[in-house]
Amino acid sequence: MILFALCGFFGFAANQALFYEGLNLTTPVDASVIHVTNPIFVLIFAGILIHEKVTVIKIVGIALGAGGASIMIMYGRLVNMGTNSFKGDILVMLNMLSYAMYLVLIKPMTGKYHTMTILKWVSFFGFLFMLPFTIRGVIGLHLQALKLNEWLGVGYVVVLNTFLAYLLINFALKTLEASMVSFYTYLQPVVASVMSVSLGVEVITIPKIIAASLIFGGVFLVSRAKQNNSLMTKANAGKE
């Protein structure tokens, strides 16, 4: 229960609160750039707390992914790291630290408990931590004044961005290392660009192709690292 409570604090309460408050003060581009640091934090925490093996291939893969994601995010945009958004940038950075801690703490529990059991308790404790800070806003909210598109927006955040996302992440952690799960956040700007191109909002450019190549190259290296670890484990088991 203590571990569930810690995961509820780091993964839900602190993670979500810091992100949305930080995004309120800084720009989406700044927040996206800072999100590139998440796999790096996870790699450090996982190596210290749960003794995940830090390999050269992992480090190179994460470096490639970080470089590709940075190019994808910053190309053609003005990144504002000025003093006006400094507080928001710090909050988003703390958000990344909190989420990295959640991935590392929850990893050992995924092998002991059902995915839905984990989500239930982590969500419950996250709710308890957030309640004192949100109850006044909820009481003062005029639900009847919300429009359909606003309800749909809330539904998207709750159902897809929170429930389904955390469910799939916890399920993935049953078989993958925490550092590898966090690495796939680098695919977010790629997916966003593909959607933008398909909708005619953006066009395919050389920098985007280079960025996508770096990201997929990093994914390949990190996946190979996982595959090599699995083969070594099977080989050692066979010798025993």
Taking only the tens place, the pLDDT of each residue in 103-141 is: 999 998 998 999 999 999 999 999 999 998 888 888 887
Q: Is 134 left (phi over 0), alpha (psi -120 to 50) or beta?
A: alpha
The structure tokens 């700007």 sit at 189
| Residue 192 domain boundaries | 2-239
The predicted-structure confidence for 63-111, as pLDDT tens digits, reads as follows 877 777 677 666 655 445 555 577 887 888 889 889 989 999 999 899 8
Q: Considering its fold, how many domains does the chain have in total? A: 1
Percent above pLDDT 90 for the chain = 18
Amino acid at 170: N
Q: Using the predicted structure, report yes or no on whether residue 52 has a pLDDT greater than 50.
A: yes
CA proximity to 122, closest of 135, 105, 100, 134:
105
Tell me how far apart the alpha carbons of residues 21 and 126 are, in angstroms, rounded to a whole number: 16
Q: Where do runs of H (alpha helix) occur along 28-147?
A: 28-35, 38-49, 56-74, 86-110, 115-139
Burial of 23 from C-beta contacts in 10 A (0-12 / 13-18 / 19+): middle
The predicted-structure confidence for 141-162, as pLDDT tens digits, reads as follows 787 888 899 899 889 988 988 8
Instruction: Give pLDDT, residue 4.
Output: 94
